[in-house]
Amino acid sequence: MGFLSGMAIGGGLTVGASSGWAPDDDRWYTSDLPVMSRAGRAVSPEGAMRVSAVYQCVTLRAQLFASLPFNIYKRDPVSKHRRVDENHPLSDLLKYQPNKWQTAWDFWCFMHICVGLHGNAYAEIVPGPRGFADRLEPLNAAVTTVEMLSDGTLRYDTADLMGRRKKLLQDEVFHIRGKHTIGFMGISPIRYARETIGLALAAEEHGARTFSNGARPSGIVEVAKTMSDPVFERFRADWRNAYNGLHGAGATPILEEGAKFTPITMNSVDTQFIESREFQIEEICRWYDTPPVLLHHHTKTSSWGTGVEAIMLAFNRNNFEPLIVGTEQAVRRDLILIPRLYEPKFDTENLTKGDSKAQADYLSRLVLNGVITRNEARLFLGYDPLTGLDEPLVPTNTATSDNLPGNGGDQPKKAMSSDGPVADNSEILE
């Protein structure tokens, strides 16, 4: 099966003998079958992606995550300082190319789209020349079930993207769970937001049907006498062909034998159709904990300047940061063999960058206070290092503890002459 059709089955099919599925159809095994909402629309992960707010919430988080730089850090056991270890086998795997057909961006985007739709993302750990984790091959989250064995480890009944089913043990699977977790599996946001998404689908279909009928509701045709069945069918067919749909919008009806047409008017303010659609966007954003302004929904929200900057900072801190931490800990659990020595880290610096003026002020303060070197600031901005800029600057208006009064800082310094130490610097000048 294709990936999307394997992830979720659309079209409102029901489970049962009348489903028409073949005995080996993957839909018998998936836990993400479409569920009928009270709005009368079947909701599945694939169907939910047809709602623009769901699509944007899911893909926004996935693409932001995929754009984060990734590094493996090695921690010194004595000093506890850490440095980037480019030679670690996982560095190339997770930073550039996890398998033969995906870049790192493709892989992380795919995994977090699965998290946004199913609450879980899985990849098979394939051994090879680079060690026990030579490749990470994505698995179909829609058809994956998990069970706990008697020894406390997990076993996965799953399938790859080609539909080939397999059973894998815990040390063969890289598993990312979503923000909400019960037991050893994440919870599908689509399943919990079923009614909200179902209502959005119903409202969208209602709007489409309204416009397909010429952007106006139907009316009542009154005739003076009873029509025979053939005449009635001919009249109804002629009316639909001539006046229904956008091609018939605004056309003037011509009626026979004293028939009268009385339209049923609709007041869009009374029905609050547009308002209900806007509210559904806000509800879906609430389910995904995503600010509406990031979905280009600017109602009741400032779309300029510091207002959006504060919203972005809150989004990164309250929504995105937990997602990053959860993924880092999943890498540490499933892929790092010596977690006390090596640490995976996604760099979020790009998410909190200000404008060019704010960046210049920020880097200037770090350089002048000796926190970073001038070459480190150049590398941050994407410039090549220059000779002589690798030493940190020492602020002239600060002093270390050994130069403070009472610690010898108020005593004249001993200087050296050709005959040995002298009392102070004044003796050398004399």
Per-residue pLDDT of the chain (430 residues; tens, 9 = 90+): 444 443 333 333 333 333 344 545 544 444 455 666 655 567 778 888 888 889 999 999 999 999 999 999 998 888 778 898 988 989 999 999 999 999 999 999 999 999 999 999 999 999 998 889 999 999 999 999 999 999 999 999 999 988 899 999 999 999 999 876 677 888 888 888 777 887 777 777 666 666 665 545 456 777 777 777 887 787 777 777 766 555 555 555 666 666 777 766 655 544 566 666 777 788 888 888 888 888 877 666 555 555 677 777 888 888 888 899 999 999 999 999 888 899 999 988 777 776 677 778 888 889 988 899 999 888 888 788 899 899 888 887 666 555 555 555 555 555 555 555 555 544 444 4
Q: Dihedral sign, CA of 43, 122, 111, 135?
A: negative
Residue where a domain stops, chosen among 264, 284, 302: 264
Give the rounded distance of the alpha carbon of 324 from its chain centre: 10
The CB density around residue 229, as the number of other CB atoms within 10 Å, is 7
Residue where a domain stops, chosen among 301, 323, 352: 352
Residue 339 makes CB contacts below 8 A (sequence gap 6+) with 332, 333
Same structural domain for residues 156 and 101? yes
Q: What is the DSSP string of 94-105?
A: HHT-SSSS--HH
Q: 155-172 b/e with 16+ CB inside 10 Å = b?
A: bbebbbbeeeeeebebeb
Same structural domain for residues 96 and 169? yes
d(CA 331, CA 325): 10
Reported as type and span, the H/E element at residue 91 is helix 89-95
Same structural domain for residues 159 and 251? no
Same structural domain for residues 346 and 400? no
Contact 119, 180 (CB under 8 A): yes
d(CA 331, CA 18): 43
Same structural domain for residues 260 and 203? no
Same structural domain for residues 226 and 205? no
Q: Dihedral sign, CA of 13, 16, 19, 25?
A: positive
Total domains, the chain:
3
Contact 134, 90 (CB under 8 A): no
Same structural domain for residues 80 and 163? yes
| SS3 per-residue string spanning 138-179 | EECHHHCEEEECCCCCEEEEEEECCCCEEEEEHHHEEEEECC
Same structural domain for residues 260 and 274? no
d(CA 332, CA 232): 73
Give the model's pLDDT for residue 151: 92
Domain limits at 423? Answer: 356-429
Same structural domain for residues 260 and 271? no
Residue where a domain stops, chosen among 352, 367, 395: 352
Same structural domain for residues 122 and 146? yes
Name the β-bridge partners of 210.
none
Same structural domain for residues 120 and 244? no
Residue type for position 257? E
Quote the longest CA-to-CA distance of the chain.
Answer: 134
Same structural domain for residues 179 and 282? yes
Contact 294, 60 (CB under 8 A): yes
